[in-house]
Structure 1
Amino acid sequence: MSGFGRYLAAALAARFASEGMAMAVVLLALERTGSAAYGAFVLTAWLAPHVLAAPLAGAAAARARRPRLFHVGALAGFAAAVAALAVLLGRAPVPLVLAVAVLGGSCGPMITGGLSSLVTGLVPAGAGRDRAYGWDASTYNAAGVTAPAAVSLATALWSGGPAMAVLAVSAALAAALAATLPYGDPPAGRAAGAPRAGLGAGLAALWRVRELRAVTAATTLAFVGIGSLTTTAVLLAAALGSPDAGGVLMTAFAVGALGGSLTLGRMTSVEPGRLVRWALAGTGVALAAAAFTPSVGVTAALFAVAGVCDGPLLTSTLRIRAEHAPDGVRTQVFTLGAGLKVTAASTGAALVGFAADAPAWTLLTGIAGLQFAAALLHVLAAPRGPVPPPMVLPRERSGGSATAPAGRRTP
């Protein structure tokens, strides 16, 4: 298997474990304590560290003298936390369970953006790398389709503990596969501390580089809506007379997203910023139409269309980050972008909880509106005219942290 093939296997195994955690935690808490609220608290502790740990994880990865050890260690830590929760949740004191969840969640940014940042070192620049990001995006969607189903099946056949153990094994497999990847030599001067990117360097890059700022702002806004889509789907299905069909709607969305990432997401001839806007607008149109359909079948079909439109969004986002992130902070840019989206999704989930008494069609219309607003935001924030080359971090004579303005072409 090629280096990129092993990478895809590692990414799929890691993201399978990550995508299954939400359902596994809630089901296990309900089984052992009878309280879904307890599971929600543990899940919050699992997700909360993502945005806070993202700059730390990115900076540590960029400075690591042994990147293989760092990445494998993060994946192994993730696996260990999942395994520990399978044993402790509902049995150990709550503070201990929450502490384990926080530690495991702190490894989360390396499962998402941290892994994606490795693609630039595995595939040469050009159309081949653009296609590689399409495959990378498909691992998120494939995990989103298969992980909840696998957790539900394992829980039905055995119980919540073995279901979570399946996720731990998957994460451990990802760590083993990551150990076989070709990480290459550390950048020149890393051992001596140059280039040394401070913890704020990734955030500075997201703000100073217009392409990064535009796609980060747009996708973060869009994910406030996407984060509330699961709850809204359940409410919408209930309003249509099929309260158990919420999972069907979300499965249709996930399957559509997988198809979109494998087809539209591989359109390397289309400029990624334009694809971002098309994806957001298309998702908004499909969800807006789904708000006014008379049956679950038609609604599921439109959810699938929305997923197809959403599929290229992640691929395009990864391409933009790879093309425009400065060398010294590339991993920070990837982890920060992923962390902000997770936080936005969590915010959306909380907001829809407060508005759960509103008619479901109004909630779905609001989600569609956020997609349109995100597309407009990208139009306003993205640069016009020729795209400048990405900025790079200068090497410093005596450490510290700094970023350079755009103008120097990355080697």
Structure 2
Amino acid sequence: MRAYLATAALARLADEGMALALTLLALERTGSAAQGAYVLTAWMAPHVAAAPVAGALAERARRPRLFYGAALAVFATAIALLGVLLGRAPTALTLTVAVAGGSCGPVVTGGLSSLLTGLASRPAARTRVYALDAATYNAASVTAPAAVSAVALTLTPALATTLLAASAACAALLTPALPLPSAHAPGPWRAPKRKRPAEPPQPPPQPPPEPESESDSGPPPPPESDSGPPPPPHPAPPLRVRLTTGLLALWRIPPLRAITAATSVAFLGVGGLPVTSVLLAAEAGDAGGGGLLMTVFALGALSGAVALARRPPRIRPEQLAALSLFSTGAALAGAAAVPSFAAAVALFALAGVGDGPLLSTTLRIRADHAPAAAHTQVFTLGAGLKQSAAAAGAALAGAASGLPPPLLLLTVAALQLAGALLLRLSCRKRDRPPPDLRWGRSPAEPGTVVP
């Protein structure tokens, strides 16, 4: 587990620092942040398109550790090349490198998380494992922007980008120690080993029965045996078929469909939270206070994830996710209503504490319900959809930046509450017992006669 946490933390530190590093690098070399924004868009855009491909390739890999190491090596190389090319090379070449590096993003997020399924069998232990994994995301979101900003302002943005590439390269070097799912947990697909046809086992010799009459004196019939040669191994389905299994699993399995829809709706608001925070702080007279609001939100999320790892609650994961979304939305709505900026900071921290368990609970639900044939794809696709929803939310918040900041923050809060409502309705629908068609009432009712 320690090797996994180190690998995930280093890889996600590099991923979280890219937005600020590219912006500062473009500003230094071109005098404008526009090219950095274009490159960042090319970096984030492939997440959804590459998610099913990355998941399918990870499931087909005969050496999963080698696959993850190669993907992280490409990820690190792309970051290093962007640090050299941005503002100096033709834009088309820079965007191509960004697309190649961004295509490895699903491996850094959902792909790595899919490896944790076999580390714990008990529900409480599994909740703790995924809470620790969520803490790596939260720690990276707090540490990466601060580290990039400090290095870029003290030295150069190019050096900050190089350090991010070094962090991803160190993660690639640690992949030989990554855990693999156990044989009893849903995990990556393995090609069955071909076996030679086995000889049918010979029954032990039996003495011939004594004939009762002359008509029964013939040799006894050979004993029948149920054992035979094993069935031929099933061939691996083609890649074009496996690319759709993750999407079908997210749609057809109710818990996966519910958590994916709820988190996508919620992240449509979370994506616009940084823009909204800056506007809210500017209205209070301190535009730089937007960074403080997002920092306390990230710190609160980190503390919430760590608290969940230490003491997992005894409620269902879907209920915990709904409670997390509700508490985050309620705290953000309170921050939009209070007139004091100090009170808004405190409520942003409280919203972060509520948001902390959401990611670990989401990972736990995916691990519990993802089928073995699409296990990694469920993780990569879920992460890609959330990333796309967050990008769309950021764009919508920028387009609506002329509205009053409290109204924007209320919209963000409403999207969290909408996600909580989706999950709550899904839990009620699943908990409702099926009706007894013979007696016209639920089997849970007293007096039901079971035929």
Same fold (TM over 0.5): yes
State the AA in 2 paired with 1:104.
G
Superposition deviation, residue 144 in structure 1 = 0.4
Contact 2:59/2:190 (CA < 8 Å) preserved in 1?
A: no
| Residue 38 (str. 1) matches residue 35 (str. 2) | yes
Aligned match of 1:270: 315
TM-superposition CA deviations, 1:180-214 (whole Å, max 9, x none): 22437875535774476610100000011000000
Contact 1:223/1:344 (CA < 8 Å) preserved in 2?
A: yes
Distance in 2 (CA, whole Å) between partners of 1:243 and 1:285 is: 24
Decide which of 357, 360, 364 is 2:402's aligned counterpart: 357
| Residue 64 (str. 1) matches residue 108 (str. 2) | no
Distance in 2 (CA, whole Å) between partners of 1:148 and 1:76 is: 22
The 3-state SS of whatever aligns with 1:263 is helix
Aligned match of 2:91: 94
Aligned match of 1:127: 124
Alignment of structure 1 residues 3-402 onto 2, 5 Å: 4-183=1-180, 187-189=189-191, 193-194=235-236, 198-264=242-308, 266-382=311-427, 383-385=429-431
Distance in 1 (CA, whole Å) between partners of 2:375 and 2:433 is: 18
The alignment-based identity, stated in percent, is 58
TM-superposition CA deviations, 1:115-163 (whole Å, max 9, x none): 0000013334432222100100000000000000000000011111000
Structure 2 unmatched ranges of 5 or more? 194-233, 435-451
| RMSD after superposition | 1.8
Superposition deviation, residue 36 in structure 1 = 1.0
TM-superposition CA deviations, 1:78-116 (whole Å, max 9, x none): 111001101111111000000000000000000000000
TM-superposition CA deviations, 1:1-37 (whole Å, max 9, x none): xxx1100010000100011111111111111111111
Contact 2:60/2:190 (CA < 8 Å) preserved in 1?
A: no
Distance in 1 (CA, whole Å) between partners of 2:432 and 2:367 is: 18
Give the aligned length: 385
State the AA in 2 paired with 1:385.
D
Contact 2:124/2:312 (CA < 8 Å) preserved in 1?
A: no
Q: 1:126 to 1:374 in 2, by over 3 A?
A: closer
Contact 1:74/1:107 (CA < 8 Å) preserved in 2?
A: yes
State the AA in 2 paired with 1:378.
L
State the AA in 2 paired with 1:204.
L
State the AA in 2 paired with 1:285.
A
The 3-state SS of whatever aligns with 1:384 is helix
Distance in 1 (CA, whole Å) between partners of 2:142 and 2:282 is: 22
Distance in 2 (CA, whole Å) between partners of 1:105 and 1:386 is: 43
Superposition deviation, residue 377 in structure 1 = 1.4
Distance in 2 (CA, whole Å) between partners of 1:124 and 1:381 is: 25
Contact 2:60/2:189 (CA < 8 Å) preserved in 1?
A: no
Distance in 1 (CA, whole Å) between partners of 2:28 and 2:258 is: 44
Structure whose CA Rg is larger:
2
Distance in 2 (CA, whole Å) between partners of 1:231 and 1:187 is: 42
Superposition deviation, residue 298 in structure 1 = 1.4
State the AA in 2 paired with 1:267.
P
Contact 1:88/1:97 (CA < 8 Å) preserved in 2?
A: yes
Contact 2:73/2:169 (CA < 8 Å) preserved in 1?
A: yes
Deviates more, 1:293-302 or 1:335-344: 293-302
Superposition deviation, residue 272 in structure 1 = 0.5
State the AA in 1 paired with 2:430.
R
